């Protein structure tokens, strides 16, 4: 069975994430402890006890989701004998790309945790509260979304931030521009255009200060060749060159998350099953809107990891 690992991004967090893995597997517990130590923060306590308002702060959400994903991957490898290299590809949605790179041995765990803390802080601080916004266009084609974004751009920065799935596209930019884009989309007959409750306008040019911060943060971090090709957000096709992977993480901060294209590319190149390690099942649910009759499985509990390992081993 040809499969790929896909790592979740913001929006998948929940109180208790990863706790059952930590309680059942010392190898998972060690991952959470190492992340806590790298960040000099009891992030695991926040993940398991809350409050959700603090966990949902970008500075905490990003390393927390990565820790949960890497804990699941570590259990899969050390407790069930399924290594990341047995997958054909790995990919991650936005911050999930860091999880994919860590799982594939490109960046070590401590560096990944520190980079995501810097990324979360930089993205949150790139724009004053209220200056930026994001909106979801439901039932819109990419062409519809581009036309709406162009209408919004007459009022300020407005771009496609996430091409998540067929009929599910997210715009990002200055508040007035994004609102104008929503109005234009409604006039075009798009099924639904709704402003989102987010802390900052991610993946658009307003995030340029955060991209600069990541350029500096990444400069001295060692990147290794991945043990499995990475389908990254910028290229939406396999990348194995460490320097390109690093440069694309910088471009990703202001660039479009090409998730639909990434999934379509992998499905067209032999992937039969997409496995989502970590918490929640946002990416697994999204699959049904991208490729028909494709299998997705969320690896977010001891039972799901064991079942997946048994299936892979046959």
- Bond preceding residue 51 cis, omega within 30 of 0: yes
List all residues 6 or more positions away from 41 whose beta carbon is below 8 Å from its beta carbon: none
Alpha-carbon distance of 94 to 237, in angstroms, equals 15
Shared-domain flag, residues 217 and 110: yes
Task: Give the residue-averaged pLDDT of 121-140.
Answer: 93
Q: Which domain holds residue 189?
A: 132-198
Do 121 and 190 belong together in one domain?
A: no
What's 164's domain CATH number?
3.30.70.250
- How many other CB atoms are found less than 10 A from the CB of residue 23? 12
Which pLDDT score is estimated for 129? 79
Report whether pLDDT(113) > 90: yes
pLDDT single digits (tens) 257-310: 999 999 999 999 999 999 999 999 999 999 999 999 899 999 999 999 999 999
Q: Where in the chain does DSSP place strands (E)?
A: 3-7, 89-92, 132-138, 158-165, 168-174, 192-195, 230-231, 238-239, 273-277, 295-299
Q: What is the mean pLDDT of residues 196-211?
A: 94
Q: Is the pLDDT of residue 130 over 90?
A: no
Q: What is the pLDDT of residues 34-59, one digit of tens each?
A: 999 999 999 999 999 999 999 999 99
Residues 15 and 155 both lie in one domain: no
The count of domains in the chain is 2
Claim to verify: residue 118 and residue 225 sit in the same structural domain: yes
CA 4/CA 275 separation, integer angstroms: 6
Average pLDDT estimate for 166-174: 97
- One domain for residues 43 and 117: yes
Active site residues: 94, 203
- Tens-digit pLDDT profile for residues 205-264: 999 999 999 999 999 999 999 999 999 999 999 999 999 999 999 999 999 999 999 999
- pLDDT at res. 243: 98
157, 174, 198 — which closes off a domain?
A: 198
What pLDDT digit, counting tens, does each position of 152-162 carry?
Answer: 999 999 999 99
Same structural domain, 15 and 110: yes
Q: In the structure, what pLDDT confidence band is assigned to residue 70 with cuts at 50, 70 and 90?
A: very high
Rounded Cα–Cα distance for residues 40 and 58 (Å): 17
In the three-class reduction of DSSP (H, G, I as helix; E, B as strand; rest coil), residue 120 is classed as: helix
User: Residue 186, CB half-sphere, CA atoms under 13 Å: how many?
Assistant: 11
> Are 45 and 191 found together in one domain?
no
Read off the pLDDT band of 198 (50, 70, 90).
Answer: confident
The domain that holds 240 is classified in CATH as 3.40.366.10
Give percent above pLDDT 70 in the chain. Answer: 100
Beta-carbon contacts of residue 193 (< 8 Å; ≥ 6 apart): 135, 136, 137, 138, 140, 148, 181, 182, 183, 185, 186
């Amino acid at each position: 069975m040809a499969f790929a690992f896909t790592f979740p991004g913001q929006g998948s967090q929940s109180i208790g994430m990863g706790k059952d893995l930590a309680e059942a597997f010392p190898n998972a517990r060690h991952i959470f402890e190492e992340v806590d130590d790298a960040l000099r923060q009891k992030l695991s306590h926040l993940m398991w006890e809350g409050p959700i308002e603090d966990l949902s702060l970008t500075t905490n959400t990003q390393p927390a989701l990565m820790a949960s994903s890497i804990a699941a991957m570590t259990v899969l490898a050390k407790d069930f004998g399924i290594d990341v290299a047995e997958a054909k590809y790995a990919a991650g949605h936005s911050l999930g790309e860091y999880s994919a790179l860590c799982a594939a041995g490109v960046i070590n765990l401590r560096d990944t945790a520190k980079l995501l803390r810097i990324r979360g802080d930089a993205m949150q601080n790139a724009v004053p509260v209220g200056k930026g916004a994001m909106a979801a266009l439901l039932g819109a084609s990419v062409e519809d979304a581009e036309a709406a974004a162009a209408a919004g751009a007459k009022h300020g920065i407005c771009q496609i931030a996430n091409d998540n799935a067929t009929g599910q596209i997210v715009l990002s930019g200055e508040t007035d521009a994004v609102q104008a884009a929503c109005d234009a989309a409604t006039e075009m007959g798009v099924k639904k255009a709704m402003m989102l409750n987010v802390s900052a306008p991610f993946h658009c040019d307003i995030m340029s200060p955060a991209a600069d911060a990541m350029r500096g943060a990444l400069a001295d971090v060692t990147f290794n060749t991945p043990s499995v090709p990475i389908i990254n957000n910028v290229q939406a096709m396999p990348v194995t060159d460490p320097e390109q992977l690093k440069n694309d993480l910088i471009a990703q901060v202001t660039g479009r998350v090409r998730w639909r294209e990434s999934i379509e590319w992998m499905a067209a190149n032999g992937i039969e099953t997409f496995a989502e390690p970590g918490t929640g099942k946002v990416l697994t649910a999204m699959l049904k809107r991208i490729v028909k009759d494709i299998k997705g499985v969320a690896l977010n509990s001891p039972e799901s990891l064991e079942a997946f390992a048994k299936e892979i081993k046959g």
